[in-house]
Amino acid sequence: MPGQRPSESRAHALVRYLTIVPQAHYAVFDADLQMTLYELFHTHRISRVGHAVCTPIVCFSALAALAQVRLPSPLDAPHLSLALPLAALLGANGYLHGRRIGALTTAVVVMMTLAATLFAAAGIPHALALSVGGMLLAGALQTWSHAFEPVPPPLSGQRDFLSLSVWRSQASPGRKLAAAALAATAFIALELLASFRILPCQLRAYALALGRAPSERMALDRRVAELRTAWPF
């Protein structure tokens, strides 16, 4: 297939094409990798704003959907639901980035979970459908905001990132059609899953943007530059 490396199987080339960075989806405990990839793939203002708005909506909507499913309790507590395990995982994920980001992530997730529980208890008609619909819509918008980013390998068909204008001028009609089809299907699913692990990345990025830990900012910028120059995936 296009972009397939010498001695690489078609199956592995297809996985790279579908996931862009396969390690991003299973190396979830590597906080530095997750943060570096977040910075690398979110450079345009529209993409950053799109994720700043849509990622919390995806997480809240998932919590609100799971809050509809009550967990059995000897005290029949109405607030015990499947939202609690997801909230615990979201909060724990924040601590992979350090205690400060962990505490901040936990505070944000607690507020989301409380709001989701209240939403589920409000008796709003079609609450589950609204939650799932909101999650899918936010996930789609978040995915499509990447259209303003440089096109990464292997989607670009080359070893380098290409600007959108250059990619449009060079890509074959078949490659463009494949990218559009993936942007409407698989990429949305991957972006939905990614939202739960990049929430603390966003909070960490905000902290760095405020001038916190300038040495960490410099080290992160260096890792991003190295990754872009010597693409290993």
Assess whether the previous peptide bond of 78 is cis (omega < 30° from 0): no
Give the count of beta carbons closer than 10 Å to the beta carbon of residue 218: 10
* CA pair distance 37, 224, nearest whole angstrom: 7
| CB-CB contact of 15 with 22 (8 Å) | yes
User: What pLDDT score does 85 carry?
Assistant: 94
Task: Please check the confidence at residue 1 and state whether its pLDDT lies above 60.
Answer: no
Q: Which residue has the tokens 């943060």?
A: 35
CA-based diameter of the chain, in Å?
Answer: 64
| CB-CB contact of 61 with 138 (8 Å) | yes
Taking only Cα atoms into account, the Rg of the chain, rounded to an integer number of angstroms, comes to 19
Task: Please check the confidence at residue 134 and state whether its pLDDT lies above 60.
Answer: yes
User: What pLDDT score does 11 carry?
Assistant: 83
Reported as a single tens digit per residue, the pLDDT across 2-26 is: 555 666 678 888 888 889 999 999 9
Lowest mean pLDDT among 24-33, 67-76, 90-99: 67-76
Give the residue-averaged pLDDT of 111-125.
92
194 burial type by CB count under 10 A (0-12 exposed, 13-18 middle, 19+ buried): buried
pTM of the model: 0.90
User: What pLDDT score does 73 carry?
Assistant: 65
Q: How confident is the model at residue 233 (pLDDT cuts 50, 70, 90)?
A: confident
Lowest mean pLDDT among 6-10, 45-49, 227-231: 6-10
Give the residue-averaged pLDDT of 67-90.
81
Question: What is the percent of the chain where pLDDT is above 90?
Answer: 73
Task: Please check the confidence at residue 96 and state whether its pLDDT lies above 90.
Answer: yes
Angle, to 10 degrees, between the axis of helix 186-209 and the axis of helix 99-121?
130
User: What pLDDT score does 78 carry?
Assistant: 58
